[in-house]
Structure 1
Amino acid sequence: MSTTPANLRYTKSHEWVLDNGDETVTIGITSHAQELLGDVVFVELPELERTVEAGEEFALVESVKAASDIYSPLSGVVIAVNDTLSDAPETVNSDPYGDGWMVKLHLNDAGDLNNLLDAAAYSAMIADA
């Protein structure tokens, strides 16, 4: 069963967003997403300082089942990537909301966080799937 932490925001494409409180966010994929993918074997992350737009493909996760594009939930500039995933991609499975984070962005507009789903809305969406 998937968990949906209440302190995060979510997208319909199964990314989670943590507001770091300083116009930056941390992004990863949800527990539900990693369960659907199965065992993650490779993660490709964007370059530092890349500018991304909300909805743009900016990362790739490959599992034993499939390859899946990861979409930026918000517009901004990549300020950090989780380099440990190159050697330990399975961390996305074992700790999707912690050490399995993927990217940190400096936001163009922190107000855009309000466009994302809260935990209750995301939980309802995946329950209906």
Structure 2
Amino acid sequence: MLTALDAHGYPVSVRVSTRGYDAATGELAAELPEGLGTAEGPANLLCHYHDDKLWHLDSTHVTGLLRRRGDNWVFVSEKFTPQTRFEMVSFLRGAHASAQRYLDRRGLARPAVNWAAVEGIRRGTTQRVKKS
């Protein structure tokens, strides 16, 4: 996820593919919709991975600059910040506690998840992808 600022200083985020990242120059070409009003300046890239069950989470935070090159945008990386396992565990514990506080303040129970339905959707999606 590439996040930058618009002309008014508000954040804008766009999902980008990192396949075109050039390690030699630290540059990543990015397609940004014109309607966002994105401005050149500081930007960051959050890359993450997890499996289908949201386990094995791994992420890297990259800071840099967003530059206009003619009609194209380029993210120029400056600093990589990989998260340690401790930070990931702390994040997950914090997210769990934060979600529980949200539910408690509203007098809500933790919602039940219909895992059979989720599994059915996953199987259907996987079958469609294999046929393509």
TM-score range, shorter chain: under 0.3
Greater helix content: 2
Relative contact order higher in (CA < 8 Å, ≥ 6 apart): 1
TM-score scaled by length of structure 2 = 0.24
